[in-house]
Amino acid sequence: MSLPRIAVDAMGGDEGVRVMIEGAALARRRHDRFKFLLVGDEPRIKQALETHPNLRSASEILHAPDVVSGEEKPTQALRRAKTTSMGLAINAVKAGDAGAAVSGGNTGALMAMAKLALRTMPGIDRPALSALLPTLGDNDVVMLDLGANTECDARNLVQFAIMGAAYSRIATGRANPRVRLLNIGTEETKGTEHLQAAAAQLKLVAASLAMSFDGFAEADKLNRGDIDVVVSDGFSGNIALKAVEGTARFVTDLLRRSFASSLRSKFGFLISRPATELLKHHLDPNNHNGAVFLGLNGVVVKSHGSANALGVANAVAVTARLLEENITERIAADVARLGTGSIRAASKAAE
């Protein structure tokens, strides 16, 4: 069975063509059944492919004369969707020429283009941006929303939980993902009315959705390894994500500074290097790169703009796995199993 190809916005990301092509080539080695549609400046893409014959033999180039800049407003980018590499990559998914799109470009523009072109799935009101975060356990934790929706009601949060659980089953292999709502405390009385209503709804419907729900989680417990899915509005989720990323950089930089502070410290570094290299690997965002817009009629993955080739490869690998595991169909099946009527009934019961 042939798999749908992946459209890669070759112009997205801080480093542009070179890193995007190198990352796609690395991913191709891991997922050699996939074909690629490389979208962007054709001469530059051809030049970058000269050192990657394996990717070149599995790719087609779609020329795009324009690029979405990092500072461009989503409304401006939308008007140029038919000429930019980002817009053409997403339109390839809409037209069925690709099964998914990957871009390291402007997040707001990517969200706007994807939502307009692909639309949200039946039963889903808003798409959510989701990513995998490292934990102390054997599993990564799925977190959503990470910034696509600054304000969310209880219905949105319940839908995010459905989508996050479907993603977690693919990412962790756990049949009944442990789902929690991000809150300022674990007590039932804590949080906004929307959070409390969403918690009440999820308690009523969790069993029918093959998920385990046990209330709230605080931000300091995100990486402990005993949660599989953390659900939040995009405002709180983005702040929590940036705090986690900032803490990881702080720890890494602090260790580097400490080991360089004296001759004794440098000697200590040599002794502890295997442990510090493991820590560095665990905290490196490139090893967990690839945020997914869940809830659309198609797969769209956001690579971090500053990602290196390994990070881009991981984002493409995430995309490939979601296509292989039919994430869109899984979410649709879960929504259909529950039924929007059941969500509304649970909502009224909670109120």
- CATH code: domain of residue 32: 3.40.718.10
Query: Could you report the average pLDDT of every consecutive run of 10 residues in the chain (351 residues)?
Result: 82 86 90 90 93 92 92 90 94 94 91 92 91 83 88 92 92 89 88 90 85 89 88 89 77 69 60 51 64 93 87 90 89 78 48 48
Q: Is residue 304 part of a domain?
A: no
Which pLDDT score is estimated for 347?
46
Which pLDDT score is estimated for 224?
86
| Structural domain ending residue among the three candidates 118, 144, 178 | 118
Determine the Cα–Cα distance for residues 116 and 195; give it in Å rounded to an integer. 28
Q: Is residue 345 part of a domain?
A: yes
Residues near 341 by beta carbon (within 8 Å), at least 6 away in sequence: none
pTM of the model: 0.84
- 89 and 134 share one domain: no
Determine the Cα–Cα distance for residues 13 and 69; give it in Å rounded to an integer. 10
- 218 and 337 share one domain: yes
Which pLDDT score is estimated for 98?
94
| Structural domain ending residue among the three candidates 84, 118, 152 | 118
Which pLDDT score is estimated for 275?
47
Which pLDDT score is estimated for 280?
53
| Structural domain ending residue among the three candidates 118, 136, 164 | 118
Helices marked H in the chain: 17-30, 42-49, 53-56, 74-79, 85-94, 107-118, 154-172, 193-205, 234-259, 263-283, 309-324, 327-338, 340-350
Q: Is residue 313 part of a domain?
A: no
- 138 and 155 share one domain: yes
Determine the Cα–Cα distance for residues 91 and 95; give it in Å rounded to an integer. 6
Strand partners, 143: 131, 230
